[in-house]
Amino acid sequence: MQHSYFPYEPTQQLRVDTQNREIKVIGEGTASAIPNEISMTIGTRTENRDVQEALKENSAVSNTLLQEIKKLGINDQQIETASFTINPKYDYSDGKSTLTGYEVQHLFRVRVQDVKQAGDVYNATFSSGANVAQDLQFHVTNDDKYEQEAISKALLNAKEKAFTIANTLQLPINQIPILIEEGPVYQSSGSSPKLLAASPPIQAQSLTVSASVKVTYTY
């Protein structure tokens, strides 16, 4: 029996090759996983007519945000700069553009191992001057067992399809497949989390780990 990787082709899930006496099927399986890490992007955006003042204001708020985040027990390895931008602002009127000031934005990417702590991060940072929050994501860092579960279910699903075809067409199918090709494994969540009230509780969404396999049986 051979094992390899294939790009997923959802339109070719069932096939009977009478010339080579093969039944080819695609099996799909999923496993539900509880995320054990949250990552979020938080920062501040400041504007001023003078670029140096805009930088100074942004730096002051950004330093305060970092201090507040670290007070929650979050270390430097869990914090990184996601982006830092300086953009001129223009006023467009009468076919002319006039420079009106500058916008400085500094965003930090924060990873929290305790999912429940994410709400505290939002509360602490926005109470200290943060005005940008985006890209909240749930992650499963120990995903091997969920991938194995999804692949196992995909193999069973493929077997059920192949044996259904064989039984329906009265073909003497062999029990052991001659080829198993593994497709990509995906993680997805059903809906966005809710942010409620001051010190918002972040509701962790169950993640779905999906796997697919292409299996070839002979008869």
Question: What is the reported pLDDT for 201?
Answer: 62
2-35+142-218 and 37-139 in the same fold: no
Question: What is the reported pLDDT for 12?
Answer: 54
Question: What is the reported pLDDT for 75?
Answer: 94
Question: What is the reported pLDDT for 200?
Answer: 58
Kindly report the CATH number that applies to the domain delimited by 37-139: 3.30.70.2970
Question: What is the reported pLDDT for 93?
Answer: 87
CA distance 130 to 77: 21
Q: Phi and psi for 95 in degrees, rounded to 5?
A: 75, 10
CA distance 174 to 179: 12
Comparing CA positions, the residue from 176, 164, 107 lying closest to residue 135 is: 107
Weakly modelled stretches of the chain, pLDDT under 70: 1-13, 189-204
| Percent of the chain topping pLDDT 70 | 87
8-state DSSP, 35: -
The pTM is what? 0.66
> Would you list the domain boundaries of the chain?
2-35+142-218, 37-139
CA distance 84 to 76: 18
Query: Which two structure tokens, joined as six digits, stand for 21?
Result: 């006496």
Question: What is the reported pLDDT for 80?
Answer: 97
CATH number of the domain at 2-35+142-218, out of 2.60.40, 3.50.50, 3.30.110, 3.30.420?
3.30.110
